[in-house]
Amino acid sequence: MKFRKVPVILLGLFLILGAWMGNSRAGEGRKLLLVITTDEVETVWQALRLANFALSQGDEVRIYLTGKGVKTVTLGNEPLDVARKLETFLDDGGEVYG
């Protein structure tokens, strides 16, 4: 079971590096696409945390929900505040597709 988290960690690292290394001209926001394919609360919460941070930095962020990821819209606030993170993301101009 411990090895199952390795791909998620690597994916997270890839997304973070892609966000900071991509289109980094001064004065231009970057574009970030997050693909959520799971309904694991902690993983979804971390993805939304990254998405909200990128929005706060002036980046254009889109989230694509697929597979079990479409359940993201039904996740509540226990034990983590997924619904609140998603609401903040949408209120701040983020886009969700799926």
Non-local CB neighbours of 12 within 8 Å, separated by 6+ positions: 46, 47, 50
CB-count exposure of residue 97 (10 Å: 0-12, 13-18, 19+): exposed
| Dihedral sign from CA coordinates of 98, 15, 23, 20 | positive
| Each residue's pLDDT tens digit, 12-57 | 545 555 555 555 554 577 999 999 999 999 999 999 999 999 999 9
The residue-averaged pLDDT of 54-65 equals 95
pLDDT, position 3: 47
State residue 77's pLDDT score: 76
Structural domains in the chain plus CATH codes: 2-97 (3.40.50)
Q: Rounded distance, CA 37 to CA 18, Å?
A: 18
Tell me the C-alpha distance between 41 and 47, whole Å. 10
pLDDT above 90 as % of the chain: 56
Query: Quick one: CA dihedral 87, 83, 71, 53, positive or negative?
Result: positive
**Residue-level pLDDT at 45:** 94
